[in-house]
Amino acid sequence: MAHLRLVNVTKRFGDVTAVNGLNIDIEKGECFSMLGPSGCGKTTTLRMVAGFEDLSDGEIYTGDRLLSSPKKNYYLPPEKRDFGMVFQAFAVWPHMSVYENVAFPLRIRHLGSSEIEKRTRDALASTNLLGAANDSPDSLSGGGKQRVALARALAINPDVMLLDEPLSSLDPHLREEMRFEIKDLQRKYGFSIIYVTHDQAEAMALSDRILVMKLGVVQQIDTPLAVYNSPANKFVFSFIGLSNFLDAEWRDGVPVLRGGMPLPDGLAPDRNMGSFSLASRPSEIDFVSEGEGGSYALEGVVTRKAFLGEIIDYQVNVGGQEVRVQKGRRAPGPDVGSACRLRLLRPFWYAEEEG
């Protein structure tokens, strides 16, 4: 049985449907990410799970325990849900010491003083904060503050940890470090994670499964690898990783690029799709020489070449449309202005109305 269950969860703000008919089952110990552009409803969903927002429709359960159900007129307030939560802006209380911040949820539960002491120290030890226990959180860096927030969420040893963009206020290098710390803590304590982020690399690195959302509607729920390798639609393709889209259409029974250049067999979809996009990833394109590439190749002219360190970034004009290609710095490539031949290793096709 799923540990956390969202059944047909819907949230409307006035006329706007922020979240529409969401069904998710999250297993115990799973790390589940919700990914999408801002305003897609991911944070609203998390806040409904936490209990800060009412549902307009649907139900949320942990195990057999009902959390929210507008139909049954039932709503368990956040303070009774026993979740851990970490917010983007740290939200550590500046008027309490690090120790008191972490001990707060335990004191609220009226635990014995030795129990509070022990569990606070455990949580502080797990987050490498024992040395700073008596400091004011204001004296800590952003990463330190976020560790305090994590320790505070850990203190009650929750089954479910809700993380609302916990790393996006941190410096990039710290972000990567904290990512693995969170993963380690999950292994140690065994809680489930619901992780909200707009950073796909973060979601990829942490998650067992990813949900991609757009305008309150689920686009795809799958493992990181599957989301990357077989995106369900054009939106998911464009949102995860770098992407190229070439506008194309079916003209006189033949697929052609916008502008009229016919598509070779290998790059043609297997059915008449009307107007469609030919999608590819910049890293999955090779430069091939005349005669190579067979039915997967397109002719173009290099219009820009930028050295980005480990990789070289090319912009190639193919029949009036731009295609981005990324190759390792060691691979020889054509120069700006020269004609070239591209081989698309893994083409995808998305009909236009799929959005």
Partner 1 sequence: MKRRGFGTAQVILFLSIAILVVVVAVPVLLIFLNAFWVNGSFNVADVIRIIREPDTWQALVNSLIIASGTTIGSTIVGTFFAWLVTRTDLPFKRFMKGMFLVPFMLPSFIGALAWKMLLSPRAGFINRFFMQNLGFDGPIFNIYSYAGIMMVEVMYLFPFVFIQVCGALERMDPTLEESARISGAGLFTITRKITIPLVLPSILSGALLIMLYSMAHFGTVAVLGIENGIFNIPTLIYQRIHQSAGSFASIRTGTVLAAILVVAAALILWLQSKVLSRGHYQIIAGKSFRPMELKLRALRMPLLIFCLAYIGFTIVLPTVVIFLVGGLKTYGLPFTWENLSLDNYKFILFDYKVTKDAIWNSVTLGFSAAVITMFAGVMISYVIVKMKVRGKGILEFLGMLPFSVPGSVIALGVILAWSGKYGVNLYNTVWIILVAYIARYMAFSLRANSAALEQVHDSLVEAARVCGATMWQALKDIVLPLVRPGMVAAFFLIFLPSLRELTVSIMLYAPTTRTIGVAIYTLNEDGETVMSAALAGIALILIIVGETLINRFIKTERRGG
Instruction: Supply the minimum distance, in Å, between the C-beta of residue 184 and partner 1.
Output: 22
Question: Of 52 and 74, which CB lies nearer to partner 1 in the complex structure?
Answer: 52
- Are 299 and 343 in contact by the 8 Å Cβ rule? The answer is no
Q: Are strands 31-35 and 192-197 parallel, antiparallel or unpaired?
A: parallel
Selected range binding partner 1 among 118-126, 150-158, 240-248, 305-313, rule: CB under 8 A: 150-158
- Ranges within 91-110 binding partner 1 (CB under 8 A): 91-95, 104-105, 108-109
Q: Which residues contact 206 (CB under 8 A, 6 or more apart)?
A: 31, 33, 179, 182, 183, 193, 195
Selected range binding partner 1 among 29-37, 117-125, 146-154, 293-301, rule: CB under 8 A: 146-154
> Measured between alpha carbons, how far is 76 from 159 in angstroms, rounded to an integer?
16
Instruction: Supply the minimum distance, in Å, between the C-beta of residue 164 and partner 1.
Output: 8
**DSSP state letter for 261:** P
Instruction: Retrieve residue 116's tokens.
Output: 């509070």
Residue 89 makes contact with partner 1 by CB under 8 A: yes
Residue 52 makes contact with partner 1 by CB under 8 A: yes
Residue 255 makes contact with partner 1 by CB under 8 A: no
The stretches of 136-269 forming alpha helices (DSSP H) are: 142-154, 172-189, 200-206, 224-229, 234-239
> Which long-range CB contacts under 8 A does 179-188 form with residues at least 24 apart?
179/205, 179/206, 181/127, 181/147, 181/150, 182/150, 182/206, 183/31, 185/126, 185/127, 185/150, 185/154, 186/29, 186/31, 186/161, 188/126
Selected range binding partner 1 among 46-54, 114-122, 182-190, 212-220, rule: CB under 8 A: 46-54
Instruction: Supply the minimum distance, in Å, between the C-beta of residue 172 and partner 1.
Output: 18
Distance in angstroms between the alpha carbons of the first and the last residue of the chain = 35
Residue 149 makes contact with partner 1 by CB under 8 A: yes
Residues in the interface with partner 1 (CB under 8 A) total: 31
Q: Phi and psi (nearest 5°) for 165?
A: 45, 55
> Considering only residues 138, 270, 310, 353, which one is a binding residue for partner 1 as defined by CB under 8 A?
138
Using DSSP, state whether 136 is helix, strand or coil.
coil
What dihedral angle (degrees, nearest 10) is formed by the CA atoms of 173, 176, 182, 185?
Answer: -90
> Considering only residues 50, 66, 76, 215, which one is a binding residue for partner 1 as defined by CB under 8 A?
50
Residue 87 makes contact with partner 1 by CB under 8 A: yes
Q: Phi and psi (nearest 5°) for 5?
A: -130, 125
Q: Which amino acid is at 257?
A: L
Question: Of 37 and 94, which CB lies nearer to partner 1 in the complex structure?
Answer: 94
Site track for partner 1 across 56-85, x = CB under 8 A: ---------------------xxxxxxxxx
- Ranges within 164-223 binding partner 1 (CB under 8 A): none
Question: Of 96 and 232, which CB lies nearer to partner 1 in the complex structure?
Answer: 96
Question: Of 149 and 273, which CB lies nearer to partner 1 in the complex structure?
Answer: 149
Instruction: Supply the minimum distance, in Å, between the C-beta of residue 200 and partner 1.
Output: 20
Instruction: Supply the minimum distance, in Å, between the C-beta of residue 91 and partner 1.
Output: 4
> Measured between alpha carbons, how far is 264 from 260 in angstroms, rounded to an integer?
12
By CB under 8 A, name the binding residues for partner 1: 47, 50-52, 77-85, 87-89, 91-95, 104-105, 108-109, 138, 149, 152-153, 156, 162
